[in-house]
Structure 1
């Protein structure tokens, strides 16, 4: 009989997750490997995948050859690539010969046996040979569907000054890119489109305060400008008199 075995390492342990998280925090490239194939994406078992983020026991990775980020559980990944190994073939031991029939005690009758011819001995020798059994093919696995991302997405709008606003996005605990600056009028339109009264009131209050401060500053600058113009006029008049 021929036996074929496949050696597979266990999934990621809590210590593995801690080590991978430390590598991400240090800015290193962290790589894991798929334990099972994904025929729907043409990915074989053992395909390498770059770790993008870790949220508990869920890892968001980017498999080699796939321009996308997919979530996996820790037991679906492994730290090393392991290839299947084939066990040594074993033969079934030949069957034992049937014991000769016992002769009743006290019987003096003997039974003569004729030697078998060469043509009869050959089939018996062949019958003692065992043919190795062929291994049964493993049942095909159904295509595995990528899991939908469970990490929450957060959009934060922040007022950073009298008229400056920024928008930042977080995917789970990981921030996506740098905050983007937006104008106050775009923030106001966005709040009115959402229709949340509390958000509209808060944003309008900040914008109104910024508007009042800008108007006051304009008045102050206008007064300073008029004062400067008057001083210049006096200087020019004095120069003409001389």
Structure 2
């Protein structure tokens, strides 16, 4: 699953919210939270509702609406309401009264007659020949730019491990909804993460597989012990019948 951008939100889950959600899950009641931000790789817009599956410290495992999977989210990525809490509105500045206009009245005076115009001598203007306009040269038309072929949409691959060591992979194209989860073997997942060259991812996957391997070995030992007890009981019954 691609990394999600995490930013602090004032309406994110509080420790009290986490306690109430954990209590609801423990009592078998439905607990619902909402995404603070959109998750384009899964096609989830902001405010998408999700069912709470489990609460572990600051991590909440949810099943978002429209996604057939259980995903871990941090508390700051979730909130208790669909819409974010609105902030205080800005106070409207008081309207200012227009400044008064000062009007001055000038004292009336007798108008003075304008002087008579002086007749100027007629001057014959000289004519200058106007050159003929040059014919504009047409600039060459630039070639049309070729449109490049649109590349494929972005691709997200999500690997999920179930509680019984059952692994599945989900592929998401762009902002579309993820496809149906396909089961894969733990060995193929281990080989794939080794090829990635990321030590953190490899160690995380190996830790899950190692834990499942230890539980399987412990189960085999318990079944072997039960089988030995059953064999001893059967042998004792057969010996009693022979007598």
TM interval, shorter chain, is 0.3 to 0.5
Higher helix share: 1
TM-score w.r.t. structure 1 length? 0.41
